[in-house]
């Protein structure tokens, strides 16, 4: 019971953050995750990648009829059962070619899949869910498992909360046999062969989690059949801060399916996060970004995005920041909220003035500066006669941005 409560708490507090694509983490496609599992020693069905209808036809000819076709989109919310119900099982090479033609078109979100993953059918008695992640409250790596797989963990938590079990472990010790035995006992596995197969799968996940610096390794469809477990569908997320250490892994990144403005901001050393409201924000630092979002919410508004300029405060940086934010047609006002520490506020003000003078900023902009030389910076902004709303108080600045956005 304790493990069930722990699992529910874990996923209620963290799963949505992992699922949101604007979070700066590396998310792999299904076929890439499956390949990592295979290399680590887990059992996965044979699969091929196709980039055209003809390649899909050839793949099913090689793999056999009743192969499963899956469009490789980073935002995949379709369960294995839903895929089968939607007719994505190719009964023949000819049907595979027809399905591929449709799947390689743009999705409802406007993103087109460039690849299909075609895998051999695998008979099974049950489909479970298995994941490895970090429990942020206990600061320990955790195994999450449920007998109701083939779907998103949030759906499982909503429909079958009692089925979710979680187990903490240590990275250095790995997956000891005693932990595998405990999991097997809790889930009603009595066969030695089946317990061994589960242990092999857990060990493979642990190897990837440790060696590749994983954040969330999901096997949404873990097939149980003939005293063995087979990984049918997986999706892996890795720590973005590991990109310098994991160059081979990060070479797999598909930038074409990421948020365009996030990729553009990254080119200029900026961090961009897309949200749901109508106020664009330029800040410096993640903590200030979260505080600004809270202040806007407290004032009754919602942020459309955040652009973290970090320690950069040049005119060129500000121009790039404003340009990216203004491309978002939802933005009705901009709030610049910057704390001047090493970079003085008067220098930041000069950069904002330079950018605003050279650009057509067609929405009202509120600027709040605090820190070194903040009074001088605010005076420069007020005297610039650029139509900027200058404010030193945090709460008042947020309130003004909300008022302008709603006007």
- Residue 268: per-residue pLDDT: 61
- Residue 246: per-residue pLDDT: 85
pLDDT confidence bin for 122, thresholds 50/70/90 = confident
Q: Which residue has the higher pLDDT, 302 or 21?
A: 302
Q: Could you give the strand order of the β-sheet that contains 365-371, starting from the edge strand earlier in sequence?
A: 271-274, 303-308, 279-283, 333-340, 365-371, 389-391
Average pLDDT over residues 292-297: 95
The length of the chain is 407
- Residue 110: per-residue pLDDT: 56
Burial class of residue 190 in the structure, from the number of CB atoms within 10 Å of its CB (0-12 exposed, 13-18 middle, 19+ buried)? exposed
Q: Tell me the β-bridge partners of 27.
A: 237
Burial class of residue 177 in the structure, from the number of CB atoms within 10 Å of its CB (0-12 exposed, 13-18 middle, 19+ buried)? exposed
Q: What does DSSP assign to residue 242?
A: G
Average pLDDT over residues 80-99: 75
Q: What percent of the chain has pLDDT over 70?
A: 85
Phi, psi angle pair for 42, to nearest 5°: -80, 160
Query: Are the CB atoms for 304 and 335 separated by under 8 Å?
Result: no
Q: What percent of the chain has pLDDT over 90?
A: 55
pLDDT confidence bin for 308, thresholds 50/70/90 = confident
Average pLDDT over residues 370-394: 92
Please report which helix (H) or strand (E) contains residue 224, including its range: strand 214-225
301: CB partners within 8 A, 6+ apart: 277, 278, 279, 398, 401, 402, 405, 406
13 pLDDT above the threshold of 50: no
pLDDT confidence bin for 109, thresholds 50/70/90 = low
Single pTM value for the model:
0.71
82 pLDDT above the threshold of 50: no
Q: Which residue has the higher pLDDT, 273 or 51?
A: 51
- Residue 286: per-residue pLDDT: 80
- Residue 18: per-residue pLDDT: 37
Between the two ends of the chain, the Cα-to-Cα distance in Å is 52
- Residue 313: per-residue pLDDT: 64
- Residue 21: per-residue pLDDT: 37
Q: What does DSSP assign to residue 324?
A: H
Among 332, 326, 350, CA closest to 340: 350
- Residue 152: per-residue pLDDT: 83
User: Rounded to the nearest 5 degrees, what angle is found at the Cα of 67, between the Cα atoms of 65 and 71?
Assistant: 140
pLDDT tens per residue across span 185-237? 999 999 999 999 999 999 999 999 999 999 999 999 999 988 899 999 999 99
Average pLDDT over residues 38-53: 96
107: CB partners within 8 A, 6+ apart: 71, 73, 113
Please report which helix (H) or strand (E) contains residue 368, including its range: strand 365-371
pLDDT tens per residue across span 343-355? 789 988 998 999 8
What span, in angstroms and rounded, lies between the C-alpha atoms of 130 and 238? 17
Q: What is the mean pLDDT of the chain?
A: 85
């Amino acid at each position: 019971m304790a493990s069930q409560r722990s699992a529910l708490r874990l996923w209620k507090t963290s799963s949505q953050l992992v699922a949101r694509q604007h979070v700066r983490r590396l998310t792999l496609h299904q076929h890439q995750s499956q390949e990592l599992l295979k290399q680590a020693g887990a059992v996965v069905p044979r699969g091929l990648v196709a980039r055209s209808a003809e390649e899909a036809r050839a793949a099913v000819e090689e793999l056999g009829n009743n192969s499963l076709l899956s469009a490789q989109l980073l935002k995949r919310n379709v369960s294995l059962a839903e895929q089968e119900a939607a007719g994505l099982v190719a009964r023949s090479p000819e049907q595979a070619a027809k399905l591929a033609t449709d799947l390689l078109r743009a999705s409802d979100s406007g993103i087109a899949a460039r690849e299909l993953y075609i895998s051999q059918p695998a008979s099974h008695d049950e489909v479970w869910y298995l994941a490895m992640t970090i429990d942020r409250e206990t600061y320990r790596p955790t195994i999450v498992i449920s007998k109701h797989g083939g779907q998103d963990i949030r759906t499982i938590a909503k429909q079958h909360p009692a089925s979710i079990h979680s187990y903490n472990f240590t990275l250095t010790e790995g997956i000891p046999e005693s932990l595998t035995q405990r999991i097997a006992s809790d889930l009603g596995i009595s066969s030695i062969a089946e317990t061994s197969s589960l242990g092999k799968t857990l060990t493979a996940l642990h190897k990837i989690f440790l060696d590749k610096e994983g954040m969330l390794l999901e096997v949404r469809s873990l097939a149980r059949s003939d005293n063995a477990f087979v990984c049918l569908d997986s999706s892996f997320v890795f720590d973005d801060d590991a990109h310098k250490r994991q160059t081979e892994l990060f070479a797999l990144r598909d930038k074409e399916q990421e948020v365009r403005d996030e990729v553009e901001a990254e080119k200029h050393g900026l961090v961009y996060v897309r949200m749901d409201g109508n106020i664009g924000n330029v800040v410096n630092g993640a903590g200030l970004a979260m505080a600004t979002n809270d202040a806007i919410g407290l004032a009754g508004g919602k942020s459309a995005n955040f652009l973290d300029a970090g320690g950069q405060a040049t005119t060129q940086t500000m121009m790039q920041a404003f340009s990216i934010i203004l491309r978002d047609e939802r933005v009705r006002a901009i709030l610049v909220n910057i704390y001047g520490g090493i970079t003085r506020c008067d220098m930041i003000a000069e950069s904002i003035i330079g950018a605003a003078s050279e650009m057509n900023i067609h929405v009202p902009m509120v600027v709040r500066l605090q820190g070194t030389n903040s009074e001088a910076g605010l005076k420069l902004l007020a005297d610039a006669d650029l139509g900027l709303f200058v404010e030193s108080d945090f709460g008042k600045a947020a309130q003004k941005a909300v008022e302008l956005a709603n006007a």
